[in-house]
């Protein structure tokens, strides 16, 4: 069946859930190493789709890995806070665990000319709080909040943020006011190098089209992308890393 079988399945499907498995078992994805986060995501989607389509006649099941998920960063692509529960449930189910140690949320980018606000964050944070209360997540964190917004979230939230990621590409030194507030409230400050938009709609459709030829890729909208990693705490070594992605086909 190959790509024809994959294309036929996608034309009948309404939802696509993609899981990469442990990237550390893949070897080098690109000749250019290390790849940027955006390049890595594109390569992972393309490689997983290509392998799936080539094996579609033999095995139509998703690839799962028997590891315990510890840390996840969830990038919401479509502006729907209910995607958070879907992502966490799928991650737990697929990886055979009952609870994630930590989830860091990245809401969808705000529109040009609009500043990120507490009101914008609240629906996403409420979904995370529900998952903490239901014992699906132990700790929840944020990404790229300045001191003012982090403080607003901290004062409003029932479940306080345990961490906040800071992109050192735009800030080579941690802001002193953010550092002081985080220390006072026992919030861990972490660093990252992810772009503001790790996977956009156009990029996903492009790699889908490249992977499954003659596909109506513009009908497919990515909903969320979850990156997980398992870290050996005592040694600080990444034991496992992978992505889970979900997209929906637009009926119109």
Q: How many residues are recorded in the chain?
A: 252
pTM confidence score? 0.76
Torsion angle of C-alpha atoms 35, 38, 40, 41, degrees rounded to 10: 180
The DSSP bridge pattern shows strands 237-249 and 15-19 to be: antiparallel
Q: What is the pLDDT of residues 204-245, one digit of tens each?
A: 999 988 888 777 888 898 999 999 887 777 666 777 788 999
Report which of 116, 16, 102, 126 is spatially closest to residue 60, judged by C-alpha positions: 16
Q: What is the pLDDT of residues 139-184, one digit of tens each?
A: 999 999 999 999 999 999 999 999 999 987 766 678 899 999 999 9
Quick check: 197 pLDDT over 90? no
**Domains of the chain with bracketed CATH:** 2-249 (3.20.20)
Give the helix/strand (H/E) hosting 248. strand 237-249
In the sheet where 220-232 sits, what is the strand order? 15-19, 237-249, 220-232, 71-76, 100-106, 137-143, 163-167, 188-192
Quick check: 59 pLDDT over 50? no
Q: What is the pLDDT of residues 77-95, one digit of tens each?
A: 877 777 899 899 888 877 6
Q: Is residue 159 a contact partner of residue 127, using CB atoms and an 8 Å limit?
A: no
Cα distance between residue 13 and residue 7, in whole Å: 10
Cα distance between residue 60 and residue 75, in whole Å: 27
Cα distance between residue 92 and residue 88, in whole Å: 6
Cα distance between residue 44 and residue 35, in whole Å: 11
Give the helix/strand (H/E) hosting 118. helix 118-133
Q: Please state the rounded mean pLDDT for residues 22-26.
A: 75
């Amino acid at each position: 069946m190959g790509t024809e079988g994959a294309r036929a399945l996608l034309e009948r499907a309404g939802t696509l859930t993609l899981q990469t498995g442990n990237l550390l078992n893949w070897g080098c994805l690109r000749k250019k190493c290390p790849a940027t986060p955006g390049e890595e995501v594109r390569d992972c989607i393309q490689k997983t789709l290509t392998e799936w389509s080539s094996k579609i006649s033999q095995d139509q099941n998703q690839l799962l890995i028997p590891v315990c998920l510890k840390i996840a960063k969830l990038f919401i692509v479509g502006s729907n806070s209910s995607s958070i529960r879907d992502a966490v449930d799928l991650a737990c189910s697929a990886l055979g665990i009952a609870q994630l140690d930590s989830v860091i949320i990245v809401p969808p980018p705000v529109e040009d000319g609009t500043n990120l606000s507490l009101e914008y964050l609240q629906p996403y944070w409420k979904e995370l709080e529900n998952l903490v209360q239901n014992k699906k997540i132990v700790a929840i964190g944020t990404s790229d909040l300045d001191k003012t917004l982090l403080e607003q979230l901290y004062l409003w939230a029932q479940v306080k943020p345990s961490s906040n990621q800071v992109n050192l590409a735009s800030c080579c030194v941690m802001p002193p006011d953010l550092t002081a507030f985080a220390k006072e409230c026992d919030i861990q400050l972490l660093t990252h190098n992810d772009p503001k938009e790790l996977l956009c709609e156009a990029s996903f459709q492009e790699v889908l089209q490249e992977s499954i030829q003659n596909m109506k890729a513009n009908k497919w909208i990515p909903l969320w992308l979850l990156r997980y990693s398992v870290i050996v705490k005592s040694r600080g070594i990444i034991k496992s890393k992978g992505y889970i992605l979900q997209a929906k086909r637009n009926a119109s």
